[in-house]
Structures are given as structure tokens and as C-alpha cells.
Structure 1
């Protein structure tokens, strides 16, 4: 079981994010997207800081710098996704954001000259196709929202890459706390600039923000950071892509959504992607590599 601690932690992360779709939609009925981001990051950072306050003693300057960098990248990614959603459809936004699953291995190769693992690349491509079938509604129209959503995917890919790099030599708890508090500070600066600093207290909506702060932010990002200490960034991106799969299952179970053949194929492709990246099937191992001419 210990061998798969990274995979298990990321599956829980993806499940939490998948379950957050409904809660986020409730919260957005009462708070702007920017208020939502700032508050959830603040709650997440403060909760983790209080729970692990002993671990936060003697945090190194290097850890603060790395956590602040991750927090800045994280906030930019969320902001691009949020603004992009204002100009494009939710399905295209979800799909284009999830394209990070194929960008991650390419960034790893470009930045660190990491050899491309054929199993993980195959899994990444299959996961992207699965996400497309689960969420994408075909449309030839391209707008600024699509571009912003794609930029969001690139920034999220950098977040996964740098999380994997930094967590090797840093305490994952300290890294996560600094990261979330940095994102919260940036969030409230943006609220001041936009004139949205006055956050109303609405009973029903406060619960959704607390849920997003504790589970969707504190627990999820802590699990992600810890998990990436044990597995590769490409594998992490593939497992995190199951967020849409869990969202589909919960929509069927809770909201009574009817599963279609297209959705079933998409879910199957995502699960196949994980199996290939995890087990590295012997069929592929025995296939001879094409010689270079």
C-alpha cells in the first residue's frame, strides 16, 4: 500500500475537485469568482497553518520563496480559468484546462531534458481524449475565452512541474501553507483593485466557501503536494485528470444525470490511461523500438 501512496493521494485529490463542481456553482450565486478564489485560498492557508503550526516554526527563506512562487503560479492559473469561463462555454473551458495533461510531459522534456516515457505519454493522450468525450461540446468557434483557458492549462502544467521539483527538497506541509497564503494575498489585492473587498456574509453560501476552503483547497493541495514527492509529474497530471470522471459519476449519482455512450467511452479512456501509465503493459514493452535512420 505504501508503494502507491502518491497515486492514492492524487485520486482523493481528483475526487475532491470533482465533487466541488456543485459546491462551486452554489458559491458563485452569491460571490464573484474573484471573491471565491481569495476566500477559499485564505481559509485553506489559515486552516493548514493552524493545524500544522508546529511544523511552520523555523521555515527556511528558500521554502518561503518556492512556496510563494507556487502560490503565484496557482493564482494566475485560477484567474485565467475564471476569466476564460466568462467568454467561453463551461465544457470548452474544462477541456482546454485539462489539456495540461499532455503539456506536462512536454514541459518536463523541454525544461529538464527528461526522457519522454512512452507509457506516460500514451496515457496522457488517452486521458485528454477521454476528457474531451466527457466534457467537450463540439464547436468550431474560437474566442478569447478559449485562448485564456488554454493559457490556464499551460500555467497549471508549470504548477505541476515546479511542485514536483520543489517538493523533493522541501517540507510539503510548509510548501503548501506558504503557497495557499500567497495565493490568498494576491486574491485580496485583486479584490481591492476591483473594488470587491466587501464580502457579504450569506448563511447558505458561507458553508460552500468553507467546504471549498477546507476540502477543495487545504486538503486537496496538501494531498497533491505530498503525492508529488512519490510519483512523476506526468503520472500526477494523468491521475488529476480523473477530476472530470469523478464529476461525471457524482452528477449521475446525486443529480440523476443520464450517462451516454460518449460519456462511457470517455470514462473508459481515462481509466485505460491510468492503467497504461501505472502498469506499463508487457505488450508495449515487447514491441521493438523503431531504429533511427
Structure 2
């Protein structure tokens, strides 16, 4: 899954971009039409107010009702509310690389453990970890609306992972990685329908470039078998989950929401596994096998998806989808490094297309326009 940086004027701004900026000794508040909370204050009047002339540069941010209490300190911001957009984008790139490596790990696990049981272990362990870490928050936010959104997002992600895992059993790892990556093309369109996020020609063009690049990297041919179709269905559910997560992320405690998502995925997967699959024998649970499961549960799931949900709440959904699309080429990269696959010209072309798609989505080629105007 992939993302991008600074929101342009044709896109809703992330919460980290809706903060005040200091100019000389006065605080000027940036006006945003897409802010989830309308304070009812005139930003121009607030900037001219004498009380603001010697205020702390972050005073407007400290008064921003969007920022949760846990991200505030006297006279300063900390936590998610204080992070610049590049911070969240960097985290998304790192997680995309880790998830690319997880394709190799999942393929190894599925040789022993059926898909639903794998998902049950992966997400129940993650829910347990989050439950311990954020018990007080979960108890404080135990409300019907939080449970509803947690169940909705969890069900969407459960469907995505279930179809992805079933597809991985039936098709090759390369096809699975490519077809899963198609959600980066679906997200801007789904987000446009769900949240009203503006769809620009740069979003569309960058997504198509990214799709072509992933095809060069991970697709051997364009035949669509049963496993390919299952993976495409999973990609659609991932796109829906990202769009709805972007919509709900600024209204809930993300840690609490992620806990309920993991718990729902784990419970649904366990029930499906008990009904349709055969559990592996006890001899299969070797230390190395348990270690791979813990890597999926702790690093890829608990840490990874928590970081993703936090970041998606601070950047546009279409931007996040593009950055996270690095998951597919990184999967091929680790396959080359660990399995000894040759790096062909087709792979190099694919990496180049994906890199260029991120530049287009990130900058909208503004640096080219500035150069032409100077000339």
C-alpha cells in the first residue's frame, strides 16, 4: 500500500498540515476547507489579534481541537500532532519494505499452516499485544460508535487478507504481489466515493504508472487464473479499508480502533478455519516456524498496521496508497536477495516506473514547470 507527501490545494489537508505557521512574531493560521472540525473562528481576525503577537509559535496548534490530549504539552506539541508529513511518509515506506519481505515469510508459513489459521494466530497475537499496551485507552473509549467502526474496518481487512491468502495458495508469489498492489489504483477512486477526496489527473496518471511498474516487476504473463481473481477481490477490500480508515482516523483513537480491527480479524479467521480447514499437527510448531509467525504478528501486523493507520490519518489516502505500493517491488527485491533470482532488464524498468510514479504523485512535476518559466 502506498502514500504521498504534502497535500495540494485540490486535496483535503491532513491534520498535520492544518497547523499554524509562524510569521515574524505573529501567528498566522492556515485556512482549510476540509478540516474535520470547524472552530468557528476567523483565522484572519485571530492572526491580527494583539494577544497573538507574542504567543508561542505553536499556540494555534495547541488550541486545535483536532489534536488529542495525549499529543499536547504546556507550550508545545508532542506525539502524532507534532509530526511533519515527511515523517509519516517515511514510516510508510519502511513498512512497505517490511511487508514486501513478508510475502516470502507467508509463502513459507502457508506450506504448513492453512490460510485462516495463519490469520487467526497472526491477528489474535497482535490484538493481545495492543490490548496490553493500550488497556486504559480501550476501556476509556469503550463506546458503541468505536465498536461499530472497529468491526466495519476489521471485516473489510479480514476479507482482504482472506482472499489474499487464498490467492497466494493458488497462484505464484509474483502474481500475488502485483495483483495485491492494484489497490493503489483503486484507492483514489474509492476514496473519492467514500470521503469526497478530490481526484486529479496526477492521481490517475501516477496510479497508472505505478500499476505498469508493478506489472513489469511482478507479473510473468497476463493470464487470470482462480488465484489471480481471488487476489484482485482482496485488493478491492484493501482499497475500501484504506478509504474508510482515512475517513474515520481523525475521529477516533487510532490505537483503540486498531485493537478492535485486529480482534475482529482474528475471531473471524479462527471461526472460518475451524469450519473449513484442518489444523496442523503439533510437530509442525517448531521454533523456526513459531518465530516466523511471531514476526508476522508483532512486526508486520501489530507494529506495521498500527503505523499505517496512524499515517493514513495524517496524509491523503491516494498518497498513502502510492507509497505503500513499494510493497510489491520490495517483495521481488527480497526474492532476488534471498532466493537468488536474477535481476533482469524487465525488473529494472519496473523499478524505474514505480519511482517515477511516486515523483509525479509527490511533486505534480512542479519543478519542471518552475524550470520552464525561468527559461
Provide Cα deviations, 1:158-214, integer angstroms capped at 9, x if missing partner: 011011111011111111111001100101111221253577333221110011000
CA offset digits 1:10-57 (Å, max 9, x no partner)? 112211101212222222232112211110011111112212223222
Matches of 2:108 and 2:170, distance apart in 1: 20
Q: Which runs of 5+ in 2 are unaligned?
A: 1-82, 371-375
Is the counterpart of residue 37 in structure 1 residue 111 in structure 2? no
Q: How far, CA to CA, are the matches of 1:90 and 1:253 in structure 2?
A: 15
Measure the CA separation in 1 of the matches of 2:369 and 2:179: 31
In the alignment, which residue of structure 2 is the partner of 1:68? Answer: 151
Match of 2:178 in 1: 95
1:126: which partner in 2? 209
Alpha-carbon distance change, 276 to 199 in structure 1, aligned in 2, over 3 angstroms: farther
Alignment correspondent of 2:137: 55
Number of aligned residue pairs: 285
Q: CA deviation at 1:248?
A: 2.7
**Among 186, 189, 213, which residue is 2:297 paired with?**
213
In 1, distance between residues paired with 2:305 and 2:221?
Answer: 32
* Aligned: 1:28 with 2:118: no
Aligned pair partner of 1:186 in 262, 268, 290: 268
Per-residue CA deviation, residues 43-96 of structure 1 (Å, 9 max, x unaligned), is 111112212223222123211211111111111111112223344333333222
**Partner SS state of residue 54, structure 1:** helix
Which residue number corresponds to residue 291 of structure 1? none
Tell me the TM-score normalised to structure 1 length: 0.90
Distance 1:6 1:124 in 2: 20
Whole-angstrom CA distance in 1 between matches of 2:295 and 2:343: 27
| Equivalent residue number for residue 328 of structure 2 | 244
- The alignment yields a C-alpha RMSD, in angstroms, of 2.0
Higher helix share: 1
Note if contact 2:122-2:294 (Cα within 8 Å) is conserved in structure 1.
yes
Change in CA separation of 1:54 and 1:24 when aligned onto 2, cut-off 3 Å: same
In the alignment, structure 1 residue 11 sits paired with structure 2 residue 93: yes
Alignment of 1:131-280 (within 5 A): 131-139=214-222, 141-196=223-278, 200=282, 201-280=285-364
Of 122-131 and 24-33, the range deviating more from structure 2: 24-33
Computing the radius of gyration from Cα coordinates, the structure with the larger value is 2
Mean Cα displacement is larger for which, 233-242 or 106-115?
106-115
**Cα 1:52/1:269, change in 2 over 3 Å:** same
Q: Which residue of 1 aligns with 2:60?
A: none
Looking at both structures, which has the greater relative contact order when contacts are Cα pairs under 8 Å and sequence separation is at least 6? Answer: 1
